[in-house]
Amino acid sequence: MEDYKWFTSTEKEISTLKLKMGEDYSEYKLDWLLRATKRVSSLSDGCNNCTELQLEITKLVESLVAWPDISDEQRKNYKLKLNSIENHLRKHRSTGFGFGTGLIIVAIVIIAIIIIAVWQTCFPS
Ligand SMILES: [Zn+2]
C-alpha cells in the first residue's frame, strides 16, 4: 500500500518534469526511470536493495527539480545512479531466467564431453 503511494507520487513528479524539461526529458532517461520506479515498487516487498533504491529514485527526481541548473558533475552523478539501478534490476531479471541459463550450461558441458570423447577416439594416446 505504502509502495503504491510512493509510486504514484513519484510518477506524478516525473510527468511534471516531462512537461517542464521538453527535450531534456529523454536526455535524463526519465521514461526509463519511470519504468524502473514501477519495477522497484513491485519488488521492494521482498528485496532490501529495492527498498533502498526507492530512496535513491526519490533523491534523483528531487535533484531534477533544480533543472536546468544542473552542473556537468551532477549530470554525471545522475547517470551513474541510473546505471546502478539498472544493474540491480538486471539481477532480478537474470534470476528469472535461471532455468534457461542452467540448460545452456548443461548443453555446453555435454558438447565438451562429446568433443573430448571424439578427440580421444581419433587420436588415442
Ligand atoms: Zn531488488
> DSSP for 89-114?
HHHHHHHHTHHHHHHHHHHHHHHHHH
The CA 7 to ligand 1 mean position distance, Å, reads: 15
Centre of ligand 1 to C-alpha 52, Å, is 9
DSSP letter, residue 124: -
Distance from Cα 32 to the centre of ligand 1, integer Å: 16
pTM: 0.72
User: According to the model, what pLDDT value does residue 99 have?
Assistant: 61
What's the 5 CA to ligand 1 centre distance in angstroms?
18
Q: How far is the C-alpha of 49 from the C-alpha of 43, rounded, in Å?
A: 9
Three-state DSSP class for residue 46:
coil
Q: Is the pLDDT of residue 94 over 80?
A: no
Instruction: Calculate how far, in angstroms, residue 28's C-alpha sits from the geometric centre of ligand 1.
Output: 22
Tell how far the Cα of 26 is from the centroid of ligand 1, in angstroms.
25
Task: Tell me the C-alpha distance between 74 and 97, whole Å.
Answer: 35
Measured distance CA(9)–CA(41) in Å, rounded = 12
Q: Please, what sign has the CA dihedral across residues 98, 103, 109, 111?
A: negative
Residues with CB under 5 A from ligand 1 (ion): 43, 47, 49-50
Distance between Cα 46 and ligand 1 center (Å): 8
Q: pLDDT by residue (tens digit) across 23-72?
A: 889 999 999 999 999 999 999 888 999 999 999 999 999 999 999 999 99
d(CA 57, CA 30): 11
> What share of the chain in percent tops pLDDT 70?
93
CA separation for the pair 101, 94 (Å, rounded): 9
**Dist. CA 50 → ligand 1 center (Å):** 4
Per the CB < 8 A criterion, the answer to whether 57 and 11 are in contact is no
End-to-end CA distance of the chain: 69
Q: How confident is the model at residue 100 (pLDDT cuts 50, 70, 90)?
A: low
